[in-house]
Amino acid sequence: MSNFDVAKYLIKMIDKNFDEIVYFYDRNNKIMFVLRNEENISLSTCHADKKKLFVYLDEIHTRGSDLRLPLTARGIVTLGRGMNKDKLMQATTRLRDLDFKQ
């Protein structure tokens, strides 16, 4: 399943209080957005409020992605069989102030 497929699924499932956008990295490592109508648009053409975005990161993009999330951001991390501590820590540290404010 591609990140685009995941984003299309999530946009249908998330709370309507989020802006009509989910963002993720596509196969070319670009930040992309999916609107509620499943239109796929690039970062340069989208001016969404980061406080109203649902961010999806696959395992690969929990390393090296430098997304500045608001202090009010909440996180969900899925765990799978065989996940080690290093991968868990990488995923959770995307919320940079998790140990202080988030």
Cα gap 29→50, rounded to integer Å: 19
**What pLDDT band is residue 71 in, cutting at 50, 70 and 90?**
confident
User: Which one-letter DSSP state was computed for residue 3?
Assistant: H
Cα gap 83→65, rounded to integer Å: 20
Q: What is the pLDDT of residue 92?
A: 77
- Of all residues in the chain, the percent with pLDDT exceeding 90 is 0
Domain boundaries, the chain: 3-92
Q: What is the pLDDT of residue 51?
A: 78
Phi, psi of 33 (to 5 degrees): -125, 145
pLDDT, tens digit (0-9, with 9 covering 90-100), for 31-54: 888 888 888 888 778 777 777 888
Structural tokens at position 9: 């699924």
Q: Which of 22, 29, 28, 18 is nearest to 6 (CA)?
A: 22
Give the mean pLDDT of the chain.
Answer: 78
